[in-house]
Amino acid sequence: MMAARCSVPSKEAQLFQTFTGLQHLAETRRFKAWFLDQFGVLHDGKKPYPGAILTLEKLAMTGSKMVIISNSSRRASTTMEKMKSLGFDPSLFVGAITSGELTHQYLHRRDDAWFAALGRSCIHMTWSDRGAISLEGLDLQVVEDVGEAEFVLVHGTEAMGTPSGTAIPMKLEDLEKTLEHCAAKKIPMVVANPDFVTVEARALRVMPGTLAAKYEKLGGEVKWMGKPDKIIYEAAMAMADVDVSDSIAVGDSLHHDIKGANAAGIQSAFITGGIHANELGLVGFGEAADLSSVQALAPKYDAYPSYVLPAFTW
């Protein structure tokens, strides 16, 4: 275990501890609830990372509550099914909170003033080869003409939804052209996955947050339904029935996971071998990042972890 003082542009210097695995941190039983990112921490979209399943089992043995918090645009039930298919035991988790689940709930309930003011007709950007996202039960009318749309709903970056519920594959640049028309009309956007990119079998893939960032640059209003907004952490704390002091978030994205934990006021553990591996000069799984590299990267994203680990291992 090592402590490194991180020089950052703030009133007081940031201090994080580095560990080779979670054992020491877990066995202190300081945290009642662990909020775990999935992509880049537990698995790469295709298979679990080495030691991830064993680490979850050992963490459960300490009596910790575990909640998956993910910027996935899919519903929580779909995320749990995916975890099971990859070999994870769903019973180890209290549940899952996904950006897609939050988006569905807020669009369905409309008890939030911002969502209550949204119309029912939308431009729907979704997935193609990943499978389009169902809007069943939301009483929405998907339109293809921007002139008829009251808001933009972004679940994916590969296709445009149609009124019949099918999806027409489209290039990213064509979706961006549609957004230019939407921004000119000044209609709001709901983004059901704030990630910019994700790690998929060691490759980076463009995610909906990229379109949302583009929309903001065009002057559009965006409702970010997930990390780094504290909305998803508050939902996780409610699910686990814990408060801020009992919680820790584990993730591989400084901008989303760590900055989000900072915003929610909870402790965080940064996994260096995920989305930032290339930036940190890491090649092999479990390779430890150079402390100075982490210190340099944190201010770049204005995100400061409490702990730093190479991977989600015991």
Question: Which 3 state secondary structure label does DSSP give 181?
Answer: helix
CA angle 308, 223, 243 (to 5 degrees): 45
pLDDT at 130: 67
Distances (CA, A) of 311 to 132, 153, 288: 31, 34, 9
Distance, C-alpha 238 to centroid of its chain: 18
How many other CB atoms are found less than 10 A from the CB of residue 162? 15
Average pLDDT of the residues in 36-44: 94
Question: Which 3 state secondary structure label does DSSP give 249?
Answer: strand
Q: Cα-flanking dihedrals φ and ψ of residue 72, to 5°?
A: -60, 140
- How long, in residues, is the chain? 314
Three-state helix/strand/coil letters over 210-236: HHHHHHHHCCCCEEECCCCCCHHHHHH
> Residue 228 pLDDT more than 90?
yes
- Asked if residue 4 lies in contact with residue 294, where contact means CB atoms within 8 angstroms, the answer is yes
Q: Within 13 Å and on the Cβ side, how many CA atoms surround 150?
A: 10
Burial of 137 (0-12, 13-18, 19+ CB in 10 A): exposed
> d(Cα 102, Cα 225) in Å, to the nearest integer?
7
Burial of 218 (0-12, 13-18, 19+ CB in 10 A): middle
Low-confidence winner among 1-15, 63-77, 221-235 (lowest mean pLDDT): 1-15
β-pair type (141-142, 121-126): parallel
107-145: pLDDT as tens digits: 999 999 999 999 999 999 999 966 778 899 999 999 999
> Residue 71 pLDDT more than 90?
yes
pLDDT at 132: 78
pLDDT at 82: 94
Question: Which 3 state secondary structure label does DSSP give 88?
Answer: coil
The identity of residue 106, as a single letter, is Y
236-261: pLDDT as tens digits: 999 999 999 999 999 999 999 999 99
How does the average pLDDT of the chain come out, rounded?
Answer: 92
142-198: pLDDT as tens digits: 999 999 999 999 999 999 999 998 999 999 999 999 999 999 999 999 999 998 887
Query: Nearest to residue 102, comparing CAs of 72, 132, 126?
Result: 72
Only one residue has tokens 């003033």, namely: 113
pLDDT band at 269 (very low <50, low <70, confident <90, very high): very high
> Residue 282 pLDDT more than 60?
yes
Question: Which 3 state secondary structure label does DSSP give 197?
Answer: strand
pLDDT at 310: 98
> d(Cα 142, Cα 103) in Å, to the nearest integer?
16
pLDDT at 205: 78
